Amino acid sequence: MPHKANAARRHHIPRAKRTVTNWAEYDAALRQRGSLTLWVTDKAIEQWKAAPRTTPGGQPHYSDLAITTALMLKAVFRLALRQTEGLIGSVLQLLGVDLPVPDHSTIARRARTVTLLSAPRSSGGPLHLLVDSTGLKLCGPGEWLIEKHGTKRRRSWHALHIGMDASTGRIVAATLTERGVDDASQVGPLLDQITEPVASVTGDGAYDRTRVYAAVQQRHPAATVVAPPRVDAVLSATAAIAPTQRDRHIQTIAEVGRMAWQRTSGYNRRAGVESQMARWKGALGEALRFHCDQAQATEVAIGVIVLNRMLDLGRPNSVRVA
């Protein structure tokens, strides 16, 4: 249990029971996620071959859409590059189309430079952004091998930072950084990927930083930042005259308590981005398979496309049971 030293002071709240009201539709959507026709679309088949190049240089055989399709199949079914090549060949054969199959070397090489299609943005008013981060392992010795023989090197990992639309559940921004990079430093890069107006940015205590408020204020002056202040947080020097957003959070917590502040400020919906992290690792795994930085960035972008497409098929309507 985390924070064992504070276990006696933590809030012991029974876990809420929920039920899904649209189970039939959601069950069909879950099955559809494993359909090859979902990932190998008619558009991909029509645009499989690359358009003739008009500038100096070699002529690519496969379009960016074809490479994107291969990378999505690799991510969804957690395949190695050679198995991905074999799956694509069998799918094209079953479809009865005479198209070349990109070999594993081509897929790995094009993963560094492929241009991905821009994802559709959410609509319906300003965006309520939920931000969080998690660690993704890099290729290295497995847990059994480490336990059996030990290792002289610490298994490394990268940090995945995502921004999620609280209304739709779609991931609208993502960055990949080295381990040890502060979560607060990625709020600006995440906001730079969003072209829509942002109404609020919600994160855990790691985002209770001055630079987070500054980054949001610079890009979206009307947006609010919802991050729990530290227990020993103090008001700013201008709190009596012109209180900042953080000052108002501290004052509200002092008046009504932290739990009431979470309900009134909307902080509780941050649980949605934590669930999204669990979906990422459950559907795509806990590790990055590529080795170079450019391919890893593409791997993360492909993961965003995959999870958003799965979500577009259908999501559960969950209601709390009294």
Per-residue model confidence as pLDDT tens digits over 103-160: 999 999 999 999 987 766 656 779 999 999 999 998 655 555 556 666 655 558 899 9
| 173, two tokens | 């921004």
Band (1; pLDDT cuts 50, 70, 90): very low
Question: 84 vs 140, which has greater pLDDT?
Answer: 84
Question: 270 vs 118, which has greater pLDDT?
Answer: 270
Structural domains in the chain plus CATH codes: 24-110 (no CATH), 127-288 (3.30.420)
Exposed, middle or buried: residue 103 (CB in 10 Å: 0-12, 13-18, 19+)? middle
Question: What is the sign, positive or negative, of the torsion defined by CA atoms of 215, 219, 222, 223?
Answer: negative
Strands 157-165 and 171-178: antiparallel
pLDDT score recorded for residue 17 = 83
Tens of pLDDT, residues 63-81: 999 999 999 999 999 999 9
- What's the pTM value of the predicted model, to 2 decimals? 0.87
- Average pLDDT value over all residues in the chain: 88
pLDDT score recorded for residue 7 = 65
Inter-residue contact 160 to 286 (CB < 8 Å): no
Question: 208 vs 118, which has greater pLDDT?
Answer: 208
Lowest mean pLDDT across 113-117, 168-172, 205-209: 113-117
Question: 56 vs 9, which has greater pLDDT?
Answer: 56
Question: 50 vs 202, which has greater pLDDT?
Answer: 202
pLDDT score recorded for residue 316 = 86
pLDDT score recorded for residue 200 = 96
Inter-residue contact 85 to 103 (CB < 8 Å): yes
Tens of pLDDT, residues 23-69: 999 999 999 999 998 999 999 999 999 888 777 777 788 999 999 99
**8-state DSSP, 186:** G
Average pLDDT (245-262) is 93
Percentage of the chain beyond pLDDT 70 is: 89
DSSP string, 10-70: S---PPPPEEES-HHHHHHHHHHTT-HHHHS-HHHHHT-BPPPP-SSSPPPSB-HHHHHHH
| 228, two tokens | 């729990």
Measure the CA angle with vertex 208, ends 203 and 209; round to 5°. 125
With 60 as the cut, is the pLDDT of residue 268 above it? yes
Percentage of the chain beyond pLDDT 90 is: 70
